Amino acid sequence: MQNSNRKVFDNLISRTKIYLVIILLLLIVIIMQQPSWIIPAIIIMLLVVGYTYFANNKRKNEISETLQDLTFNVDSAAKSTLINSPFPLIILETDGNIIWRSSKFVSEFEKVNINQYIDDLIIEFKNQIETRQKDNKKNTTMLQKEITIENKIYNVIGKFVNSRNKKSKKDEYMLMLYFIDITENRQLQQKYNDTKTCAGIIIVDNYEENMQLLEGSEKPQIIAEIDKVVYDWTNNYNGILIKSDRDTYIYIFEQRYLEEIIEDKFSVLDKIKEIDTKGKVQFTLSIAFSNEGDTDSDKYKSATSAMDIVLGRGGDQAVVRENEIYRFFGGRAQEVEKRTKVKARVVAHALENLINESDKVMIMGHVNLDIDAMGSSIGIYRLAKTLGKNAYIIHNGNDIALDSFKKELLKEPEYEDVLISKEVAIENVEENTLIVVVDTHKRGYVEAPELLDKVKKIAIIDHHRRSADYIENATITFQEVYASSAAELVTEILQYAEAQIELKTIEAESLYAGIMMDTKNFTFKTGVRTFEAAAYLRRCGIDIIHLKKWFQSDLESFNKMADIVKSAEIVNQTIAIAINSKKEKDTSIVCAKAADELLTISDITASFVLGDIGNKICISGRSIGDINVQVILEKLRRRRTYYSSRSSSRR
């Protein structure tokens, strides 16, 4: 009885319970005052409880009926919406078996073989589910995939639904796919992107120097011809061209024409060279385009940064900066030695001041040091020591080719503590330390990239054409692509420094060896200033026969190189390609020597030697003709290939 009463009482709503308690208390008070009222009070209480229970149940039934009607109506509306969906809708099993499809789906894809698309969508959505499971994400969220069907673009939304089989009690899944046509949206978006502006800068290379070589009467005609070539080319793309200086043009155009310009491969680079100056000079252009930035001002700044790279690579080429990626075009003109030495003097004085303002100097070259990088490092070390600063050369000992030289160098007691490892350098670097990078300008190619973020002062001395991965925050950059080697540039700095520098014989020999190595014994890329630098070093008392012994090959290495050369294949009658199939410690060195040796064969203007160095493929490229091996190898490097290159031209 108690359980029954408790059950009845529990079925009542909370507010009703309070009212019953109050009535009960009042009846108890009345009974205490009038004991004769006990039986009427009990009867009244039972009647109140009975009526309350009846009224409560009646209200619950009414609410339940209302909810059932509402649910039925919602289900009916949902079913009606599903059947008459304004979007193409299909329900299928995970194996591709179609369960149901809406009338809109049937009419939309009546003339399309939709099965091939559905199979791909099932695979794609299954992969998305697996990826989310690995990432511990919920699977209940909608899956999406954008596809193109018969010139229409659809955003396909998928949802896996669990349809548990009541008989087998197994989980079975269905896939619901909604096809939402977003073609118009994409077209509007494309139209918006096409009408965005791109900023471009066009510069005539060596304008002042070339004009000085022309007769006074020729200059107006040549200037007019240059303007005509540039204006005619830009008019093809409906842009606005403004000549901001005698040698500089600013070009603003819509982004829709950028791909056309790229497909045209900047034909203006070749057209400008057709201007007839009667053999006195050849005009070339440097071009930089960019579409990066929210405003035209941002795009112009981005184009300016890209132009710095073009000029650093020697000019006569174009670069497009898009989505933080550089694409280079052209670069076929022969490098020409600059006739002025003003920049070398300015850099020498600026570097001296920078060293004097620093507490210590750390010098590093590229990974797998060669004699050019090592000789350049030693030259800067001597400059720093002359100015009374502690200086160190970062050296990780991965260069087999320098073993003979290092044995000779370490005979000098001074150099016992000069060569330090990357780890030691990181431990001892300070905020006021000067980092000098020689024979490279690439952030990812130096011996210790971590050091670049730990200091405020960086100087770069390099003779390679500027790459996209350049060190951006350098205080001083002495990058001259006409120079034969970094050793030549460092020698000029030592010549023009205000401090009286006395090179030791081993130091002068290392710089001379760097020039010899990069010019192939003064045959390639050698200018007047190269010989001037070499003459300065010869006066320091070097022994050429002695330093040549550093780089003599042993018989085993020579035989390896000979085998590689023997296996070479000739492509297009002028390009030699060979493979070093043996994976050894000195693979990269042997490949480099073999590439050099291949150029001694008649009619060969470029050589490539591939070798296996473990987790990467080493490619050594060399050129003495019109092929720019650096441009080729830069593209291969994006595939995580280690490469080295030397080229006597810029094509």
The CA distance from 325 to 481, in Å, is 22
123-129: average pLDDT:
82
Of residues 522, 515, 519, 560, the one with CA closest to residue 646? 519
Which tokens in the block code for residue 133?
Answer: 């499971």
Q: What confidence tier does 476 reach under pLDDT thresholds 50, 70, 90?
A: confident
The CA distance from 542 to 48, in Å, is 122
Segment 391-442, tens digit of pLDDT: 999 988 766 667 778 888 888 888 888 999 989 999 999 888 999 999 999 8
2-11 contacts at long range (C-beta below 8 A, 24 or more positions apart): 8/49, 8/53, 11/53, 11/56, 11/57
- Quick one: pLDDT at residue 365? 92
Half-sphere exposure of 535 (CA within 13 A, CB side): 6
CATH hierarchy code of domain 555-647: 3.10.310
Q: Which amino acid, one-letter code, is at 322?
A: E
Task: Tell me the pLDDT of the chain averaged across its residues.
Answer: 81
Segment 249-263, tens digit of pLDDT: 999 999 999 999 999
Over its C-alpha atoms, the chain yields an Rg (Å, rounded) of 40
- Quick one: pLDDT at residue 440? 92
559-569: average pLDDT:
86
270-293: average pLDDT:
88
- Quick one: pLDDT at residue 222? 92
Q: Which amino acid, one-letter code, is at 400?
A: I
The CA distance from 350 to 357, in Å, is 11
Segment 7-51, tens digit of pLDDT: 444 444 445 667 778 888 888 888 888 888 888 888 888 888 887
Which residue in this structure is represented by tokens 């300065």? 536
Who wins on pLDDT, 637 or 421? 421
From edge to edge, which strands make up the β-sheet containing 575-580?
Answer: 569-571, 575-580, 606-612, 617-623, 642-647
326-351: average pLDDT:
69
Helix, strand, or coil (residue 620) = strand
164-193: average pLDDT:
78
How far, CA to CA in Å, does 29 sit from each of 24, 26, 35, 150?
9, 5, 10, 87
The CA distance from 22 to 7, in Å, is 20
Segment 516-550, tens digit of pLDDT: 888 878 877 788 888 988 999 988 888 787 777 77
**What is 195-330's CATH topology?**
Alpha-Beta Plaits (3.30.70)
Q: Is the pLDDT of residue 296 over 70?
A: yes
- Quick one: pLDDT at residue 584? 73
Segment 57-116, tens digit of pLDDT: 776 566 556 555 545 554 555 556 666 678 888 888 777 777 788 888 888 888 888 888
- Cβ neighbours of residue 107 under 8 Å, at least 6 residues apart? none
* Confidence (pTM): 0.56
Helix, strand, or coil (residue 75) = helix
- Quick one: pLDDT at residue 339? 43
- Quick one: pLDDT at residue 544? 80
Q: Is the pLDDT of residue 648 over 50?
A: no
- Quick one: pLDDT at residue 489? 93
**What is 89-188's CATH topology?**
Beta-Lactamase (3.30.450)
The CA distance from 621 to 578, in Å, is 11
Q: What confidence tier does 651 reach under pLDDT thresholds 50, 70, 90?
A: very low
Q: Is the pLDDT of residue 5 over 60?
A: no
Q: What confidence tier does 138 reach under pLDDT thresholds 50, 70, 90?
A: low
**Virtual torsion, Cα 205, 209, 213, 219, nearest 10 deg:** 60
Q: What percent of the chain has pLDDT over 70?
A: 84
Pick the CATH number of 342-551 from 2.10.25.10, 3.90.1640.10, 3.30.300.30, 3.20.20.140: 3.90.1640.10
Segment 339-384, tens digit of pLDDT: 456 677 878 888 998 899 899 999 999 888 888 999 999 999 999 9
